[in-house]
Amino acid sequence: MKPEVRIFKDLEELSRAAAEIFVEQFAQSIAERNRFLVALNGGNTPTRLFQLLATDFRENVDWRNVHVFWGDERCVPPGDSGSSYGQARGALLSYVPIPDANIHRIKGELDPVEASKDYSLILKDFAPPPLEWPRFDLVYLGMGEDGHTASLFPGSPVDVPDPTLPVTVQYQDRPANRVTLTPVVFNSARLVVFMATGEKKAQTYAEVVSDRYNPELYPAQRIHPADGELIWLVDKAIASKLPQDLR
Ligand code: 6PG
């Protein structure tokens, strides 16, 4: 199935669309299940989305019913500039009335194996049996220039049965200890929204959404919700190498 691709002028427009999706999914989830489970991503791309949710869109959400999780985390303390939790706290969570008990962070201060175990127990609390993880109402993901998403890197195992995985990679010349959710979790979500921009990622992006399926090399291709939707929010620059029928 061809993914749904929405192309925007720039990151600002793209982030507004991502915030509108948050508000819509929130309303629908509350109406149907009375709570909203969202998984955030890290990296540079979602910062503007977080700011918009904390300002222009703040009053459109009853934050007491929002439960926030993360698709992945770097193993650094929460106050470190590399912490995805810290980033979301600084741009969004400290500005909205979300109860602390609804913030389900990956404990980056632990080593990856311990943090991964701890997170899998947190997920279990929200799992509809027989699943051992929640069906997220909304998952935001980014994509790296190499086609990685969350902390699923090229060459990492494709079929992982566990919901969380400790990761130790050499990434951009620095070792990175991380924890990531795995495709079984992402693919049971109700809606997955990728956000990606920039000419530098255009070639990889064209490969990722092509019919050439190579999930080993392009981990973003591992994401295809079984009973949910997948939407790509991208800017013109990253879409510049897409075939006409996807633009
Ligand atoms: C992280 C995410 C990673 C990210 C991509 C894109 O770094 O926290 O794990 O998958 O979404 O690397 O990052 P940018 O948005 O910074 O390009």
Protein residue whose Cα sits closest to atom 12 of ligand 1: 144
Each residue of 192-233: pLDDT tens digit?
999 999 999 999 999 999 999 999 999 999 999 999 999 999
Residue corresponding to tokens 């982030």: 15
Residue 151 CA: which ligand 1 atom is closest?
A: 9
103-123 residues labelled b (16+ CB within 10 A) or e (exposed)? bbbbbbebebeebbebbbebb
Do 126 and 134 contact (CB within 8 A), yes or no? yes
Could you tell me if the CB of 149 is within 6 A of ligand 1?
A: yes
Split at pLDDT 50, 70, 90, the class of 244 is confident
Each residue of 88-102: pLDDT tens digit?
999 999 999 999 999
pLDDT confidence of residue 10:
98
Each residue of 27-69: pLDDT tens digit?
999 999 999 999 999 999 999 999 999 999 999 999 999 999 9
Angle between helices 84-91 and 47-54 in degrees, nearest 10: 40
Residue 180 CA: which ligand 1 atom is closest?
A: 9
Q: Phi and psi dihedrals of 170, rounded to 5? A: -95, 105
Instruction: For residues 130-143, give the mean pLDDT.
Output: 98
Which amino acid, 91? Answer: A
pLDDT confidence of residue 171:
64
- Strands 174-181 and 72-74, bridge-based pairing: antiparallel
Choose which residue among 45, 70, 146, 234 to substitute to test ligand 1 binding: the one with the highest number of ligand atoms within 8 A of its C-beta: 45
Could you tell me if the CB of 148 is within 6 A of ligand 1?
A: yes
Ligand 1: centre distance to CA 149 (Å): 7
Mean pLDDT, the chain, rounded, equals 96
Protein residue whose Cα sits closest to atom 7 of ligand 1: 43
Ligand 1: centre distance to CA 173 (Å): 16
Could you tell me if the CB of 116 is within 6 A of ligand 1?
A: no
How many Å apart are CA 129 and CA 166, to the nearest integer? 24
How many Å apart are CA 114 and CA 75, to the nearest integer? 10
Which amino acid, 232? Answer: W
DSSP 8-state class, residue 198: -
Split at pLDDT 50, 70, 90, the class of 169 is confident
Asked if pLDDT for residue 8 goes beyond 70, the answer is yes
Report which of 107, 66, 67 is spatially closest to residue 85, judged by C-alpha positions: 107
Q: How many CB atoms lie within 10 A of CB 6?
A: 15
pLDDT confidence of residue 1:
60
Asked if pLDDT for residue 247 goes beyond 90, the answer is no
pLDDT confidence of residue 174:
63
